[in-house]
Homo-oligomer: A and B are copies of this chain.
Amino acid sequence: MIGEDATARWWSIGELARASGVTVRTLRHYDEIGVLRSGERATSGHRRYTAADLRRLYRVRSLRALGMSLDEIKEVLASSPEDPAAMRALLRTQLRQLTFQAEQTQQLIEQIHGLLRQLDEASMPDPDQFMTTLEMISMLETYFTQEQREELARRRGELGAEAVEEAKTHFVELVEQLLRHVQDGTPADDPQVQELVRRWDELATPFHAEDARGEQTKAAARRMWQEHRDQLSARLPWPAEKMAELLAYLERARTTAH
């Protein structure tokens, strides 16, 4: 027999689980963290759930199904019994997060489509080149955030094509000089190298607003990379490994600057 009579004025944890489609473990977890406390216990220590608990459980599950955390749910269900303002705020927050997530996912989908195209193209006999593409993705992501990419794309438009072309030319010159120094083993704190680094960092300055938040050299490197993103994507004239070494060399040159 169940409850006090056949109509059940209360539910045991197993009954509630079956009736609501969650597991017993889940209910115990909710009890533990306070999302759904079982009102009272039987003398034996067994949990007893009331009709009010059942309704609360349904609410919890609905909000979870909408992707909210148990902490958020606990809070909104704790706020003055049924506060529409708090609920609205939570829903809006969740909507923003989901929208953002949807955009991110969409970008990933497109990126993977691109990679699959590249893999399927007959013009790609060299698997190493595909790996190089993979490495480039990470390099670019390391040096720019999403917003930076977008803002820089705008600024680029404002400045006009000539300035960009000029910067590109300088960039290629710089990289080749620096690569020579790397190959020759020039110490990173060599004045000539330092000068090259300074020019590297300055090169893209007009392409970016001044944020003056320290870290300027790092930011400058990001800008530099950004400006030549297309070139990079279209495969660099230098192998990825060389560029990687160059990046490390640059990093070192900046930190050893007197």
Chain A residues packing against B (C-beta within 8 Å) = 2, 5-8, 11, 15, 18-21, 51, 54-55, 57-59, 61-63, 65-67, 81-84, 87-88, 91-92, 94-95, 98-99, 101-102, 105-106, 108-109, 111-113, 115-116, 119-120, 127-128, 130-131, 134-135, 137-139, 141-143, 182-183, 185-189, 240-241, 244-245, 247-249, 251-252
Min CB gap A150→B, angstroms: 17
Docked Cα-Cα span, A63 to B92, in Å, equals 32
Min CB gap A35→B, angstroms: 14
**A137: which B residues are within 8 A, CB to CB?**
62, 65
Min CB gap A15→B, angstroms: 7
Docked Cα-Cα span, A138 to B105, in Å, equals 26
Since A7-B249, A51-B244, A66-B112 are in contact, a sample of 18 more A-B pairs with Cβ atoms closer than 8 Å, ordered by chain A residue number, is: A5-B185, A7-B186, A15-B251, A19-B248, A54-B241, A54-B244, A55-B241, A55-B244, A58-B240, A59-B134, A61-B138, A65-B137, A67-B108, A82-B128, A83-B127, A84-B130, A87-B119, A102-B105
- Assess whether A65 is in contact with B138, with CB atoms less than 8 Å apart: yes
Q: Is the interface of A mostly helix, strand, loop or mixed?
A: helix
- Assess whether B251 is in contact with A66, with CB atoms less than 8 Å apart: no
**A19: which B residues are within 8 A, CB to CB?**
244, 247-248, 251
Q: Whose C-beta in chain B lies nearest to the C-beta of A218?
A: B18
- Assess whether A131 is in contact with B59, with CB atoms less than 8 Å apart: yes
| A106: contacting residue among B67, B102, B116, CB under 8 A | B102
| A109: contacting residue among B95, B183, B187, CB under 8 A | B95
Docked Cα-Cα span, A109 to B95, in Å, equals 6
**A54: which B residues are within 8 A, CB to CB?**
241, 244-245, 248
Q: Whose C-beta in chain B lies nearest to the C-beta of A182?
A: B7
- Assess whether B20 is in contact with A55, with CB atoms less than 8 Å apart: no
**A241: which B residues are within 8 A, CB to CB?**
51, 54-55
Min CB gap A124→B, angstroms: 8
Given that A108-B66, A130-B84 are contacting pairs, would A51 and B102 also be in contact in the complex, using a CB cutoff of 8 Å?
A: no
